[in-house]
Amino acid sequence: MNTLLIDTHADFIFLAIYQNQEIKYKKESKEKKDHSTICMPLLIELLSESKLNINQIDDIIVVNGPGSFTGVRIGVTIAKIIAYTMNIPIRTITSLELYLNELTKDYQYIALEEKNGFYVGNLINNQIKNYEYIKRNEWEKWNKNKKIFLCQNINYNNICSFAKQKKPINPHLVNPFYVKKIEAEK
């Protein structure tokens, strides 16, 4: 069973193929170039190094945000088109869920920092509920008296088994999870 993971939510790109829920091959790019110029070439490299044809991929996990709007759209578009055309299962996990493995003691919230603020989620029974976005200038007031886990390092090793607990989604309905509203909608 070959599971393809696509993560484009941040300023790096991480792609991996899991076999028996363990990372077998991986590719990472930290180049400061547009994701669009890197992501698909990186996928081709990953497939060729793993000596797999795209048709040998059995299912897909895609990180659908929150994070860079354009970055997430690139990963999600590639993932849902592959899943739709090959008719294989696709699952999404959020960028904050990537960090759940690192969670050590009792926290109430999990927070992912970005340029102008923080994506936060409420931790209930080790699950993330109620995502919201807190602007940097409101952060200090917001985080008072809260036990917050700040996301730092991703350990991709357990991501496959974590994602597999979720149900696959119809590729038509796989979409970015932006959390942030856009200016015109406010």
Whether the Cβ atoms of residue 64 and residue 94 lie closer than 8 Å to each other: yes
> Binding residue for other proteins (CB under 8 A) from 22, 28, 31, 34?
34
- 143-172 residues in contact with other proteins (CB under 8 A) are 171-172
39: nearest Cα among 11, 19, 3, 1: 11
Binding of other proteins by 81 (CB under 8 A): yes
What number of chain residues touch other proteins (CB under 8 A)? 33
Q: What is the DSSP letter of 53?
A: -
> Binding residue for other proteins (CB under 8 A) from 38, 96, 98, 112?
38
Instruction: Please report where in the chains the tokens 């409101």 appear, as a residue.
Output: 138
Binding of other proteins by 39 (CB under 8 A): yes
We find the least distance from the C-beta atom of residue 160 to other proteins, in angstroms, to be: 21
Helix (H) or strand (E) holding 75: helix 69-86
Half-sphere exposure of 141 (CA within 13 A, CB side): 5
Interacting residue ranges for other proteins, rule: CB under 8 A: 34, 36-41, 43-44, 54-55, 69-70, 73-74, 76-78, 80-82, 84-86, 171-172, 175-176, 178, 182-185
